[in-house]
């Protein structure tokens, strides 16, 4: 009998993964804006102090300097909180996205599950911003195992990436050795009645929703859409054709995140009824991380209800 792994935060993957990859021969440089303890990047500083540069609380300088560092051939990881990465949007656009700089933005404390810090610290628009930057790969891990696999993939692939990690300790979905494939949805459960497309912490919650639905005789397919850009439109189209209804669940504003991008992709390929679980036209507030998620309806019950709504429209 094996015991379930202890809950862990996706942000905890970064530092140890970078140390491991550097030790294995990668050429990694980490830049930081005074949040290395929270993002876990400090582990890399402890192991490779000469390869770690702090720029203080100055994200714009950090991002442009990261782009400059990358011109010499290193893979440069720039780390801060998601809301503060947004602070450097123009620098990301001109210095990183347009020249396809090999800079990986790893932004922790993504989404509303930052909790107690309140609305200013809750990024509900970062996926929209980074998806609007051409050449960026935009990725949200479902758990710490996938987060670590994503860091590996980011080092193996040239070009700009945005990786959103989170603060709360989450149940682990994947087993060790899980291989992440950029731009490929991962079907965690098959079903024929509808498809739930989710990213981040909504993946595990959607699996729980699928179990609840199964008790009512509803078979839901669950896709982990960890890659927001480039979106796996083939998997989406197959889901639409084969299940005829789609729910998208994410920790982001619904009008500009994964759901909106899925709807746009399906509109020209195979439109089906869709429902969207996400942040609905509001800013967050303080509370524990799961309280704030409950306030927003970002839980298994919210996904289950959306599934029932979309099934009613499917008939």
Residues near other proteins (CB under 8 A) = 29, 50-51, 53, 55-56, 58, 60-61, 63-72, 74, 90-91, 94-95, 98-99
Catalytic hit among 59, 146, 148, 204: 59
- Two tokens at 135? 């050449």
- Rounded CA gap, 219 and 208, in Å? 12
Q: Residue 165: which of 291, 63, 39, 294 has the closest Cα?
A: 39
Taking the complex as a whole, the smallest distance from the CB of residue 83 to other proteins amounts, in Å, to 18
Nearer to other proteins, 36 or 284 (CB): 36
Q: State which H helix or E strand residue 253 sits in.
A: strand 246-253
Nearer to other proteins, 89 or 289 (CB): 89
Taking the complex as a whole, the smallest distance from the CB of residue 135 to other proteins amounts, in Å, to 12
Taking the complex as a whole, the smallest distance from the CB of residue 108 to other proteins amounts, in Å, to 21
Taking the complex as a whole, the smallest distance from the CB of residue 93 to other proteins amounts, in Å, to 8
- Rounded CA gap, 315 and 313, in Å? 6
Nearer to other proteins, 28 or 107 (CB): 28
Nearer to other proteins, 105 or 198 (CB): 105
DSSP secondary structure of 134-190: TT-EEE--SSHHHHHHHHHHHHHS-S-EEEE--SS-B---SPTTPPP-TT--EEEE-
The verdict on whether 211 is a catalytic residue reads: no
The residues with which 279 forms a beta bridge, in sequence order, are 253
Helix %, strand %, coil % for the chain, to 5? 45, 20, 35
Return the active site residues: 59
């Amino acid at each position: 009998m094996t015991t379930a792994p202890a809950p862990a935060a996706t942000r905890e993957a970064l530092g140890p993964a970078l140390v491991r990859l550097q030790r294995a021969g990668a050429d990694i440089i980490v830049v930081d804006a005074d949040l290395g303890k929270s993002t876990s990047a400090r582990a890399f500083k402890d192991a490779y102090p000469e390869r770690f540069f702090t720029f203080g609380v100055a994200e714009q300088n950090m991002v442009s300097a990261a782009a400059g560092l990358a011109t010499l051939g290193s893979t440069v990881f720039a780390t801060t909180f998601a809301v503060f990465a947004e602070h450097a949007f123009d620098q990301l656009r001109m210095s990183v996205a347009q020249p396809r700089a090999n800079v990986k933005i790893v932004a922790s404390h993504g989404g509303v599950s930052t909790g107690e810090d309140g609305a200013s610290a809750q990024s509900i628009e970062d996926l929209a911003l980074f998806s609007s930057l051409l050449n960026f790969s935009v990725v949200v891990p479902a758990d710490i195992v996938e987060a670590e696999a994503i860091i590996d993939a980011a080092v193996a692939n040239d070009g700009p990436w945005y990786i959103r990690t989170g603060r709360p300790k989450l149940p682990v979905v994947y087993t060790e050795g899980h291989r992440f494939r950029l731009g490929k949805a991962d079907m965690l459960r098959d079903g024929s009645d509808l498809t739930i497309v989710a990213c981040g912490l909504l993946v595990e919650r959607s699996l729980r929703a699928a179990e609840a639905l199964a008790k009512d005789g509803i078979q839901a397919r669950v896709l982990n859409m960890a890659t927001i850009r480039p979106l796996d439109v083939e998997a989406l189209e197959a889901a639409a054709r084969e299940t005829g209804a789609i729910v998208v669940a994410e920790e982001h504003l619904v009008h500009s995140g994964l759901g909106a991008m899925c709807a746009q992709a399906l509109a020209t390929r195979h439109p089906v009824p869709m429902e969207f679980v996400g942040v609905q036209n509001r800013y967050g507030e303080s509370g524990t991380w799961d309280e704030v998620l409950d306030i927003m309806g970002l839980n298994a019950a919210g996904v289950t209800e959306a599934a029932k709504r979309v099934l009613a429209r499917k008939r």
